[in-house]
Structure 1
Amino acid sequence: MTSHEPAASAAQRPSSKKRKALPLWQETILLVVIALVLALVVKTFLVQAFWIPSGSMENTLQVDDRILVQKVSYWTGEPERGDVVVFDDPGDWLGATAEQELGPLQQVLSVFGLYPAGGHLVKRVIGVGGDHVVCCDAEGRLEINGTSVDEPYLKDPNADASSQRFDVRVPEGRLWLMGDNRDNSADSRAHLGSPGGGFVNVDAVLGKSWVTVWPFDRMGSGGSDNAPFAAVPDPD
């Protein structure tokens, strides 16, 4: 009786086809494309870099600061009083404000969120939909829904919260935004007589200032501060 060796299973047989490795240049291109796609996804849904072109948010944010803006906070909610937000220009607010000049490479990188973008505005949320915002009370402070607010982040905390007096009711779905450097900020106050009345649509907000990443000696918080508004009641 002739004995036979057991046949090798398909799993045991050496593969007759070996996967051919990509040439180095093709592998490099593939990795770069994957990295750019991931960067674009991150920029669209998670984090985006921005450049600060003016002193309207001093001393919280300085000219030429680079900040990262996170978008996660507004996936399921809306901006809150005290948030520092970046938003699309709601109607020629930028005007003659200088914008960052980008070279061709920088423009490409900015598309993928790999270089700080210009062409947007950054301000602090003062009033949300339904709020009654008045300036100023007897001590020069903002008054929101009948409650006075002390603002420790102002560039000049000893001055009135605004040299321009106003009394506004924020429409639903809109925001009242102001810079921390109140005497050098063309914010909602400067556009009271414009279409939209100085209010910014919530949908125009790109995200919340998360962290300052450049220059190194200023690395730290993005400046949002909700604590001063903790005692403000909900609007009627």
Structure 2
Amino acid sequence: MPLWQELPLLLIVAFCLAVLIRSFLLQAFFIPSGSMENTLLVGDRVLVNKIVYDVRDPKRGEVVVFRGPEAWAPQPVDGGDPGIFSKMGRTLGDLIGISRPGAKDFIKRVIAVGGDRVSCCDDQGRVMVNGKGLDEPYIFDNSPLDVAPSPGQCQSRKFAEVVVPAGQLFVMGDHRGVSQDARCQGPVPVDNVVGRAFVIVWPQDRWANLSAPDTFDDVPAPTGGGAGGGSPAPPSLPGKGDIVLAMPIFASVLFLARSRRGLPDRQRRLRP
């Protein structure tokens, strides 16, 4: 098959693979706000494993992308009145997983899971989970201690003890001074979680693995047990689910590379 015929076929195959991977395995997300600074900066792109939580529950310390419940206020996104070509580009980007997030898409860190008791603060001003104060090195610009808690507002570091319901997560941003999270908007159902953000892929100089910090390793199980409450944080390396997830991508690249490399040989054999 000559190049002018084979190239469109390869592009169609690559597009279909990208849509399948985006729908079931892997998706890139754009970071639109500063609520996760300095772990994630505005403009960063992260890869999200969409199948890992099909085989296990989320763990404390992991960074997750989720759809905000009804009680959560939507976050501001770039608006304006895009033209038809811009709309087409956004639609195509959404199909292959490189578009900007919607107003109800959030990315936060899991602080507590179902059955956990979480509150703030201990005598050192730290968040406590099941009675243990957390040393959180990833926090940037923490909320002030001298501001009184206010319903529906996350301006204060302090909040009353919450027992996280089974099947839900207590999530918070790393930039506590600006993050609107479970402190004032409530826990998030596990069913709303899109997947685990496990690596920063863009910009190139910001590439980093988003592992769970070891501060959660010693969190005790909740009194009376809880759904996943006593599970330790995973190791600081990509999990098996992340590794398995990458296999279809490498297979696709190899397929396209081998097909393209074979074109000159086949064309030479067809020449008189």
When normalised by structure 1's length, the TM-score is 0.79
The 2-side partners of 1:169 and 1:99 are apart by: 36
Give the unaligned 5+ runs of structure 2: 146-155, 224-272
Letter in 2 for 1:88: R
Q: Residue 202 of structure 2 corresponds to which residue in structure 1?
A: 214
Are the aligned partners of 2:144 and 2:177 in contact in 1 as well (CA < 8 Å)? Answer: no
2:194 is paired with a residue of what secondary structure? strand
Residues 82-122 of structure 1, C-alpha deviation per residue, up to 9 Å, x if partnerless?
00001112126353522477822232122122x24411110
Distance 1:225 1:100, change over 3 A: farther
Q: For 1:117-136, what aligned pairs fall within 5 Å after superposition?
A: 117-119=100-102, 120-136=105-121
Q: Residue 232 of structure 1 corresponds to which residue in structure 2?
A: 219
The 1-side partners of 2:73 and 2:39 are apart by: 20
Give the unaligned 5+ runs of structure 1: 1-20, 192-197
1:106 is paired with a residue of what secondary structure? helix
Q: Residue 52 of structure 2 corresponds to which residue in structure 1?
A: 73
Are the aligned partners of 1:49 and 1:117 in contact in 2 as well (CA < 8 Å)? Answer: no
Distance 1:92 1:33, change over 3 A: farther
- The answer to whether the aligner puts 1:95 opposite 2:78 as a matched pair is no
Distance 1:58 1:146, change over 3 A: same
Distance 1:49 1:84, change over 3 A: same
The 1-side partners of 2:65 and 2:200 are apart by: 13
- The answer to whether the aligner puts 1:109 opposite 2:88 as a matched pair is no
- The answer to whether the aligner puts 1:36 opposite 2:23 as a matched pair is no
Of all paired residues, the percent bearing the same amino acid is 46
The 2-side partners of 1:221 and 1:169 are apart by: 30
Farther off after superposition, 52-61 or 34-43: 34-43
Letter in 2 for 1:121: F
Give 1:24 shift: 5.4
Q: 2:137 aligns with which of 135, 145, 152?
A: 152
1:56 is paired with a residue of what secondary structure? coil
Q: 1:83 aligns with which of 62, 68, 81?
A: 62
Residues 50-98 of structure 1, C-alpha deviation per residue, up to 9 Å, x if partnerless?
0111100011001111111122422310110000001112126353522
The 1-side partners of 2:143 and 2:108 are apart by: 20
Are the aligned partners of 1:69 and 1:210 in contact in 2 as well (CA < 8 Å)? Answer: yes
2:177 is paired with a residue of what secondary structure? helix
- The answer to whether the aligner puts 1:181 opposite 2:165 as a matched pair is no
Letter in 2 for 1:108: L
When normalised by structure 2's length, the TM-score is 0.69
Give 1:159 shift: 6.6
What RMSD in Å do the two structures reach over aligned CA positions?
A: 2.4
Give 1:155 shift: 0.6
The 2-side partners of 1:94 and 1:134 are apart by: 22
Bigger-Rg structure (1/2): 1
- The answer to whether the aligner puts 1:61 opposite 2:70 as a matched pair is no
1:35 is paired with a residue of what secondary structure? helix
Letter in 2 for 1:203: D
Give 1:130 shift: 0.4
Give 1:166 shift: 2.3
Give 1:186 shift: 0.5
Distance 1:226 1:77, change over 3 A: farther
Q: 1:142 aligns with which of 127, 130, 140?
A: 127
Aligned residue pairs, count = 207
Are the aligned partners of 2:63 and 2:108 in contact in 1 as well (CA < 8 Å)? Answer: yes
Give 1:33 shift: 2.3
2:60 is paired with a residue of what secondary structure? coil
2:220 is paired with a residue of what secondary structure? coil
2:55 is paired with a residue of what secondary structure? coil
Letter in 2 for 1:107: T
